[in-house]
Amino acid sequence: MTKRVIECNICGEPLSAATDDELLGQVVQHIESEHPDSGVDEEQAREMITREAYDAGDA
């Protein structure tokens, strides 16, 4: 099964989910809890996923 993965642009933590929509939720939640002063909003997170997320198979 393939999953979508992205690393946080601020701290490098890998975030993963089954779809880009689920990944968006993970990114937004991570930003809100770990980097609340970063100024990254949902639209910026969506753009980041479009540019940087990749497929990763089960390891």
Please say if the pLDDT value at position 59 is more than 60: no
**pTM of this prediction exceeds 0.95:** no
Domain coverage including residue 39: 2-57
Q: Considering only CA atoms, which of 12, 23, 28 is closest in space to residue 49?
A: 23
Tally of domains in the chain: 1
| Whole-angstrom distance, CA of residue 2 vs CA of residue 35 | 28
Give per-residue pLDDT as tens, 2-51.
899 999 999 999 999 999 999 999 999 999 999 999 999 999 999 999 99
| Whether pLDDT at 58 is above 90 | no
Q: In what order do the strands lie in the sheet with 2-7?
A: 14-17, 2-7, 54-57
Q: Determine how many CB atoms are found less than 10 A away from the CB of residue 7.
A: 15
